[in-house]
Amino acid sequence: MELSEQEQVRRQSLQTMRDLGIDPYPAAEYQVTGYSSDIKADFDNWDGKEVRIAGRLMSKRIMGKASFIELQDSKGRIQVYVSRDDIQAPVPEPSEVSHQLSVEQQMYNVVFKKLLDIGDFIGIEGFVFRTQMGEISVHAKKLTVLAKSLKPLPIVKYKDGIAYDGFNDPEQRYRQRYVDLVVNEGVKDTFLKRAAILRTMRQVFDEAGYTEVETPILQQIAGGASARPFITHHNTLDVDMYLRIATELYLKRLIVGGFEGVYEIGRNFRNEGMDRNHNPEFTCMELYVQYKDYNWMMTFTENLLERIAIAVNGTTKVQIGDHEVDFKAPYRRLPILDAIKEKTGLDLATMDEDAIRIEAKKLGIEDTEHMGKGKLIDEIFGETCEGTFIQPTFITDYPVEMSPLTKLHRSKPGLTERFELMVNGKELANAYSELNDPIDQYNRFVEQMKLSDKGDDEAMVIDHDFMRALEYGMPPTSGIGIGIDRLAMFMTGQPTIQEVLLFPTMRPE
């Protein structure tokens, strides 16, 4: 491995520390008693008090016997004042100490001025004060080396509050998220907000009495959604298996087993395209509740999202690109065929499959021959309507052909009790009054197999064990799936899914 000149210098500094008897990677616990943000937020209570802080050295200004450094801990940054006459540093062997200066003074000259680099982890013991310039700082009395950094961090420069010459190439940022989190302001906040989304979601479900569960990731049948799976091989069983594309069919088995409500927040895997809105592995939440229908689920969902928005941002209103989106309940409810008619003038409810296929071709939708009626309607909606719904809108009552796991609509023949929630022109959630008639469910699976024979490689296959579970009886149930990554994009105002994934899928370097 070829080292840059800076990397060579840092390794020399590392060796010098060791030669001086200083362990650059000590094993002992370093007990932190304060954090940068807490000290700044409550200075009056911290003023003059002893404190131990730790973090990365992010800048160093040496001015003779005194210096100022900027220390970055897990909650922010704070200035540290270091004076040669005050500092205590790691003590070297006596033979290494000059008799002209004290141990501490020599260590200030050697360790602090020459051997510490930007990015090194250090511990500071001292007291809190405010400088003559008014900046809240820590006056260092003792310095401890906690970890030596062997690679130089990219330094983001600022002018008039605007960052430039920084670590801003997206591919580098996503590949080296560990660097991105250190040097780019606001990146860590995005993931703290993502954590708040999940925390709030769990609170809502737990308060309602629903149980968080875990279901298999490796499955013998890729079911519960229309998507292409990843295939792997189980050596012991000598069978091919699939990374799950959805958790639905296992969660509904648990409703059969007697749970009132179950939910799972976990990874799904779909061997499909990658773009600004899709990643092959993604986080999804699925919830199933007995004795409920899709009307109840719409109300539950809008209240859930309103609460999440307030928990994450302190308001129901979120700026997403050029749009201000308000998550305050209630949301508009619009049947899909009415939405298409509203946006295009096409009354697809009066057309058969061939007529709808002709309209799809007029709209530039290609490869329609293998599509059934439901798929054609879905494509037309996606082409002409989906991107126009900016404020949260429930699109309801989908055709039976595109909803194989959904109850037939109680009053609209040929349609189902299903909704998708559209936000900022994208689907955020998908929910049903769940189909619990085992005979109807089997016939729907058979129809899906026919679509597969026509070339639809996303059509579902029959899960015979799930069918057996339904035959034991499943109560009326409503279920929903919410894409956590997309929800995080919306709640943090991020333009791409890669910005809300700590480690998005990338091509090999």
- pLDDT tens readout for residues 1-38: 789 999 999 999 999 999 888 899 999 999 999 999 99
Q: What is the mean pLDDT of residues 84-88?
A: 78
Query: What confidence score (pLDDT) does residue 505 get?
Result: 95
356 burial class (0-12, 13-18, 19+ CB within 10 angstroms)?
buried
Q: What are phi and psi of 46, to 5 degrees?
A: -95, -20
Name the pLDDT band for 88 (thresholds 50, 70, 90): low
Query: What confidence score (pLDDT) does residue 509 get?
Result: 87
Q: What is the mean pLDDT of residues 151-168?
A: 77
Q: At what angle do helices 187-207 and 294-313 cross, to 10 degrees?
A: 140
Sorted by sequence, the CB contacts under 8 Å of residue 19 that are 6+ apart come out as: none
One DSSP character per residue, 84-114 reads TTT-B-----GGG--SSS-HHHHHIIIIIII
Asked if the model's pLDDT at residue 428 lies above 80, the reply is yes
234 burial class (0-12, 13-18, 19+ CB within 10 angstroms)?
exposed
Query: What confidence score (pLDDT) does residue 166 get?
Result: 80
Asked if the model's pLDDT at residue 101 lies above 50, the reply is no
Q: What is the mean pLDDT of residues 63-86?
A: 92
Give the residue among 262, 273, 215, 278 at the shortest CA–CA distance from 243: 215
296-342 pLDDT tens trace: 999 999 999 999 999 999 999 999 999 999 999 999 999 999 999 99
Q: Does domain 187-331+391-500 have CATH number 3.10.20.30?
A: no
Distance CA 465, CA 299 (A): 32
Work out whether the CA dihedral 157, 163, 165, 171 comes out positive or negative. Answer: positive
One DSSP character per residue, 343-372 reads HH---GGG--HHHHHHHHHHTT----TT--
At the top level of CATH, which class does the domain 5-153 belong to? mainly beta
Contact 39, 49 (CB under 8 A): no
Query: What confidence score (pLDDT) does residue 131 get?
Result: 95
Query: What confidence score (pLDDT) does residue 366 get?
Result: 84
Query: What confidence score (pLDDT) does residue 162 get?
Result: 67
Query: What confidence score (pLDDT) does residue 458 get?
Result: 59
High-pLDDT (> 70) share of the chain, %:
92
Contact 248, 227 (CB under 8 A): no
Asked which of 61-75, 293-307, 473-487 is least confident by mean pLDDT, the reply is 61-75
Q: What is the mean pLDDT of residues 87-92?
A: 60
Q: Residue 127: helix, strand or coil by DSSP? A: strand
Query: What confidence score (pLDDT) does residue 50 get?
Result: 98
Contact 498, 486 (CB under 8 A): no
Name the pLDDT band for 95 (thresholds 50, 70, 90): very low
CB atoms within 10 A of CB 155: 13
Query: What confidence score (pLDDT) does residue 65 get?
Result: 84
Asked if the model's pLDDT at residue 375 lies above 60, the reply is yes
Asked if the model's pLDDT at residue 371 lies above 90, the reply is no
Mean pLDDT for the chain overall: 91
Asked if the model's pLDDT at residue 55 lies above 60, the reply is yes
Asked if the model's pLDDT at residue 378 lies above 50, the reply is yes
445-474 pLDDT tens trace: 888 777 666 666 656 678 999 999 999 999
Output 160 or 408, whichever has higher pLDDT: 408
Asked which of 14-28, 159-173, 232-246, 452-466 is least confident by mean pLDDT, the reply is 452-466
Considering only CA atoms, give the Rg of the chain: 30
Query: What confidence score (pLDDT) does residue 191 get?
Result: 98
Query: What confidence score (pLDDT) does residue 87 get?
Result: 77
Query: What confidence score (pLDDT) does residue 102 get?
Result: 54
Name the pLDDT band for 200 (thresholds 50, 70, 90): very high
Query: What confidence score (pLDDT) does residue 96 get?
Result: 47
Q: What is the mean pLDDT of residues 271-279?
A: 93
Domain spans in the chain, listed from the N-terminal domain onward: 5-153, 187-331+391-500
Q: What is the mean pLDDT of residues 218-232?
A: 90
Contact 475, 488 (CB under 8 A): no
Query: What confidence score (pLDDT) does residue 286 get?
Result: 98
